[in-house]
Structure formats: structure tokens, C-alpha cells
Amino acid sequence: QLNALAQGNSAFDPGSAVLKAGGQQELDELIATIGKRKMNVGSIIIAGHTDRFEAESANATLAEERAKAVASYLPARGLDQKLMFWEGKGAKEPVPVTKFCE
């Protein structure tokens, strides 16, 4: 099992689901690792999160939109979309606010 995180201000602006260059770079590093290790990918599980303030806001779908943004990015980098499963954690599992602070 290989885990990667595209998180914080480098991946998403607060309140936004647009995957930024920093998040793309983190995902590209994951893909490079898969290639170097010649790993056979059986499934890709993508979980979108928000911080506690975003989870309390009116945008209840933000975590899901972030997961979808990652799921849209990965096939362009050669990963099979049929192997992807995504979900938004939202208020169920908010990330600490400190991950969005610089």
C-alpha cells in the first residue's frame, strides 16, 4: 500500500476544490514512485477532506469536489480511471486547520 497526500495551501486554496500546481507536483511524485518501483496498481482510493471551518461552512460538497479534482487529474498522468474510488469526508473527518496555515 502506498499513500500520498496533496494537502494544504500548496494543493488547494481554502474553500476551493481547484487542484493547484503544488498538489499536482505531490501527485506526480506518487506516480513517479509507482513507476520506479514497477508497482502493479490494483485500486486507487481518493479521500477528499476539508478543515473544520470549511466543514462548518455552507459548502457541504467541498471535500467531495476535491476528491473529484484529484480523480480527474490522475488519468491524464497514466493511471486507470476504472481503478479509482473517491469520496468526500467533509465534516465526518475534517483535517486540522493547521494544515492550511503557513
| pLDDT, position 39 | 87
pTM: 0.81
| pLDDT, position 17 | 92
pLDDT digits (tens, 9 = 90+) for 16-68: 999 999 999 999 998 999 889 888 889 999 988 887 777 777 677 898 999 99
Residue 91, pLDDT above cutoff 70: no
Burial class (CB in 10 A: 0-12, 13-18, 19+), 89: middle
- Measured CA to CA, the distance from residue 36 to residue 13 in angstroms comes to 31
